[in-house]
Structure 1
Amino acid sequence: MSIVVTGATGQLGRLVIDELLARVPADQVAAAVRDEQKAADLAARGVELRPADYDRPETLAAAIRPGDTVLLVSGSEVGRRVDQHAAVVAAARAAGAARLVYTGVLGGPDADFRLADEHKATEQLILDSGLPYTFLRNGWYTENYTALIPVQLEHGVVGSTAGGRIGSATRADYAAAAAAVLTGEGHENRAYELSGDQAWTLEEYAAELSRQSGRAVAHHELPAEANLAVLTGAGLPPQLAEILVDVDVSGIARGLLAGGSGDLARLIGRPTTPLADTVARALAANANANATATANANAAANAS
């Protein structure tokens, strides 16, 4: 019997593996991955690799075994996730998994913005399966914003949130919660509403980025149509851009991603990571990347 993490080479999945290895021996952890080469570092740490592809149910049948506890990390292909997740649920049920843990969205059945639709459908599939379950209803990732810092420093922070508060936390916070639930007791047939301890607005985010960077970063509140044009102009696929704008208008602006349950901090046994800390780390990473790029360019110029 193992703890099986799907999507184990993704940004969240890798962090969950790290947290699990700090809690249990490596031979109790299995990584379900599409590309074993991308998971070579996990294998080197003693994690069992199990080939698995959400779009190939026959691989899922071999990846999940009787008595396994399975973490279903939600897929990234919006519009295709219900069928993909259904294949994992079916495989877990057929194998006789001990429990299925799912990373959904804050609010669960009460979330009525478009991004939540596939998560709600997946939760219902799991309930209908009869498997013991735990729902980890993750709020917004702080990295959704800090990943855009280079653009924000040049063009400001844009959104259509109408001053709504965002109870975000880092991927590492959510990964720690997943590991706690996967290795702990008393989590069967429970749902946790996970969010950061301190919610913030985009205006407050822009002010924090200004403070730490030393540059004036404006917050631009845009109508939905203008926001959509900005996102598609930046290269996002239209369907994804529409969903993100809907999260702003139908989710954040209405307070549905503000959080406040305290579940995340209780599960991880510490305060969630403050916004200021995540901004600081992102700025440092950007500075290091810029320094590396400059050094490489200088080296290339000197060699020519």
Structure 2
Amino acid sequence: MSNGSTPPASRRRARTFRPVPTALAVLAALGCAGCGAFGGGTASEGGSGPDRPAAAGQHTPKAGPDDGTAHKDDTAGKDGSRERGTAAGGGPLKGKVVVIDPGHNPTNRDHTTEIARQVDVGNARKECDTTGTSTDAGYAEADFTLDVARRARTLLRKEGVRVVFTQDGDKPYGPCVDERAEIGNTAHADAAISIHADGAGAGNRGFHVIRPGAVHAGGADTRKITGPSRDLADHIVGRFVAATGSAPANYINDGKGLDTRTDLGGLNLSRVPKVFLECGNMRDAQDAAHLTDPAWRQKAAAGIAEGLTGFLRR
């Protein structure tokens, strides 16, 4: 994932791996948190392991006919800014608002001074943003996150959900992590999710969901959202397993697929239920094969959308 902080030393040490639960075991442990899926279906603001900047020449995939980029409207934020959202249809979840935060930005690498600027995340100061990581072959995390986010947006719109993006490849860099949180707050989102891929070492594989810990410092106060964010995390884990068949990360929290952190500005500063999803590890060959496969990315988008809609229907 990569969004700007050094992981705790314990995360950088060699780990003793334990057996990873099977998909069925995880679903059973979570009570399946709604196992249906849509048909057809690093060190940073979230990950572990050092950043690997996106390779020069990598570009954001162009919008396809069903990637959710059509039918956009603009909604004014409280501060007068304009944030792009998609007009919702008349589905069963009409009136619900979801903010999707595609991690990083494909052109962050061209604005290293700007993204290195320190911002306040309540209990610390962190970089505005980072470049994100990439696969060994150079497929950039920022390209991956945008593609999956757009696919998820299409699925959510079919349910009537209004979707707001923090960025859609339309900003020169960023936005900064504090701004990403504020977009969700300003939209009064019913749920928010930040999509990433990790940059840990080879052999570390699988996905995990990060939920906010208790933070009450400076401008951060997560006390009202920790409970619903945990519920959201459970829904995402259950549906992501069911949709993708992927196992929870074998290097985070004993293979449970869940982690809690208090060092991520995107979570600390959120006033709406929010989680981060690390869809897999770009540095591991097995995970990279999935992350670079459009068919798998569609499954990932289905897992994300189904997890969000399950949470919204609760």
TM-score when scaled to structure 1?
0.31
Task: Tell me which of the two structures has the higher relative contact order, counting C-alpha pairs closer than 8 angstroms and 6 or more residues apart.
Answer: 2
Structure with bigger gyration radius = 1
Higher strand share: 2
Higher normalized helix content (fraction of residues): 1
- Taking structure 2 as the reference length, the TM-score comes to 0.30
